[in-house]
Structure 1
Amino acid sequence: MPLEEKVKNLQDMLMKRPLINLNVDKWKNYVKSAPRNYSMIVMFTALSVGVNCPICKPAYDEFYILANSYRYAHMNTKAVYFAIVDYEEAPQVFQQMNLNTAPVIYHFPAKGSRKKHDQMDFQRMGIDADAMAKFVADRTEVHIRVLRPPNYAAPVVVSLLVMLVLGLLYMRRNNLEFLYNRTFWGIICLCIVFAFMSGQMWNHIRGPPFVMTNPQTRETSFIHGSTQFQLVAETYIVLVLYATVTLGVILLNESVEGKGDSGKRRVLVYVGLGLVVVFFSLLLSVFRSKYQGYPYHFLFN
């Protein structure tokens, strides 16, 4: 296929959709064969539910945002095109590239052969659209400003919450002593801290599954084995572990500052120390399961 026809076809496909779906024929014509005066940024992924790739969908969503941002600002540049190869549609391409994992992003340069740095390192850079834009800029010198679609869910939820709080204050306008209660504000602050430390915001942005089931063994996992992903159940587990360790520290503090009898204070010391030791060990075990090779543990492996 002549170069002019290639570019014209790619521009037509870009007009319809930011990402070009590559089958075997398109892969040969637009990526592997010469002549070519444009770069191709290709994501190899597996979006089928049967493949059970939990990180593929969020990575694809970020890649789509990047491609759409490029189309918005660089429509007529004709320098870079974004494409995807799905395993279910073109397994032969995965075999040609010797790929047994997904997702993977490769840069296919306009001239010369592909080099080691033409593969994006997700472990080091992350899977968000801004990291992908930096990778594209490093390989092609095309700088893309990431434009995310507006999300109105958060302002609506915040507005409803504010209205609910104001309504409660109005209903209890004659009895507002609880606003001066230090314990009340301390519990609210702890809930906010636990929510952010456990990864609730990450869940809100990425939308991960609650648990993950291995299709071969049918085993259900509540803790994801990768440092780049987490499950909703894992978030709740980590939140409970942090909260229990905090409760243990509070009991230890109360045993020192309390004015009760020595027997009660001794019980608080033992209970608080037991909570801290046991649940901090469990928290360290969760950390070790995600960061393979971490050498330290306490009570549990």
Structure 2
Amino acid sequence: KKDRIMVKYILVVTFLLAIFSLCSCKTKQDLLDEKVKQLTEWSNRRTVIQMNSNKYSTYVKSKPRNYSMIVMFTALDPKRGCSVCREANDEFTILANSYRFSPAYTSSLFFAVVDFDEGSEVFQSLGLNSAPAFMHFPPKGKRKGADTYDIQRLGFHADNLAKWMAERTEVVVRIFRPPNYTGTVVLVLLFSLAGGLLYVRRNSLEFFYNKTFWSILSIFIVLAMTSGQMWNHIRGPPYYHRNPQNGAIHYIHGSSQGQLVAETHIIMLIHAAIVGGFILLNEAHQPKVDISKRRIMAIGGLVLVAFFLSLLMSIFRQKYQGYPYSFLLR
């Protein structure tokens, strides 16, 4: 009799556990459906969802989750002094908009942004000491190292972000940028200004044949192109890099695979100083110039070339480890 009672007890307990398990599964599914529904609603209003610490904990960190999240961590308040956060935010928005209106759009991938002033606890939990930063949160499993975007090497251009997103989520998106007529308007204004100037000076166009004018213009274009301005335009790197460990600011990228905007400006100034030194050396050779001025120009030109060429080689050694040559500076 006792055995029968025990069997009945076990059957009842098993039945109750089965019912509880079914109810629990249903609750999780309902919770997941509610989360996806809410995220979809927010995404329809704005492609990049604004999140604070609570929303991040609920929709990104907590389970259940059958969707991926691409999250940008930033500090858009001007008081924070993040000079590149606004530009990175614009590129991230372009990526999110391109995905929203692409054939690849589904409710399995969402874009979000967490601002430091609204989610400082999130920054602390992830060990973030600088902004902007981009991270991918997969639907299952733990994040891997590649789920953190290498902004220092790749910049924050929307096309590079799209390639990284495709590697992490297998969602391929073609970037569509809104039409920008600023360049066209500026070009029209410049041509109009140049045409008006030529019309006003139509009776005296000697300046048009001035060798000095064309020399300065040519040197400026060469300096701009050789300093890496086109690379900046394509890759969109940050202006400087802040070390997350000690907060130190670096204006020279430590790797040969990348560069900073400030770095290109520094290189451009160094190249300009070297060019100026060679110009002084060339002018010092002219016999029409007074001998004392020629001596000063020669010494000044030699100092400029020697010092700034040494500085350029020193920076090159810093970026390309193992480069064997140096001059004056190491």
- The alignment status of 1:126 with 2:181, answered yes or no, reads no
Tell me the distance in 1 between the aligned counterparts of 2:155 and 2:77: 22
Is the 1:126–1:228 contact (alpha carbons within 8 Å) kept by the matching residues of 2? no
- The alignment status of 1:110 with 2:133, answered yes or no, reads no
Tell me which residue corresponds to 1:94.
123
Tell me the distance in 2 between the aligned counterparts of 1:235 and 1:124: 15
Tell me which residue corresponds to 1:215.
none
Tell me the distance in 2 between the aligned counterparts of 1:47 and 1:293: 36
Q: 1:183 aligns with which of 203, 212, 217?
A: 212
Written as runs of structure 1 = structure 2, the 5 A alignment for 1:160-179 is 160-179=189-208
Tell me which residue corresponds to 1:32.
61
Secondary structure of 2:101's partner? helix
Tell me which residue corresponds to 2:185.
156
**What stretches of structure 1 of length at least 5 have no aligned partner?**
212-220
Secondary structure of 1:73's partner? coil
Secondary structure of 2:71's partner? strand
Return the letter of the residue paired with 1:114: R
Tell me the distance in 1 between the aligned counterparts of 2:237 and 2:180: 14
- The alignment status of 1:135 with 2:161, answered yes or no, reads no
Residue-pair matches, total: 287
Is the 2:155–2:237 contact (alpha carbons within 8 Å) kept by the matching residues of 1? no
Q: 1:244 aligns with which of 250, 261, 273?
A: 273
Written as runs of structure 1 = structure 2, the 5 A alignment for 1:56-71 is 56-71=85-100
Q: Render the CA deviation track for 1:83-128: whole Å, top value 9, x for unaligned.
A: 1111211222223223233222111112222112111111222221
Return the letter of the residue paired with 2:216: I
Return the letter of the residue paired with 1:90: G
Q: Percent identity over the alignment?
A: 48
Aligned CA distance change for structure 1 residues 228 and 48 (closer, same or farther; 3 Å): farther
TM-score between the two structures when normalised by the length of structure 2? 0.72
Tell me which residue corresponds to 1:218.
none
> Cα RMSD (Å) of the superposition?
3.7
Tell me which residue corresponds to 2:12.
none
Q: 1:270 aligns with which of 262, 284, 299?
A: 299
Is the 2:277–2:304 contact (alpha carbons within 8 Å) kept by the matching residues of 1? yes
Is the 1:19–1:82 contact (alpha carbons within 8 Å) kept by the matching residues of 2? yes
Aligned CA distance change for structure 1 residues 113 and 206 (closer, same or farther; 3 Å): closer
Is the 1:107–1:118 contact (alpha carbons within 8 Å) kept by the matching residues of 2? yes
Tell me the distance in 2 between the aligned counterparts of 1:110 and 1:207: 30
Tell me the distance in 2 between the aligned counterparts of 1:188 and 1:228: 26
Tell me which residue corresponds to 1:217.
none
Q: Render the CA deviation track for 1:198-250: whole Å, top value 9, x for unaligned.
A: 677759x97999x9xxxxxxxxx9x846575445xx87765544333212112
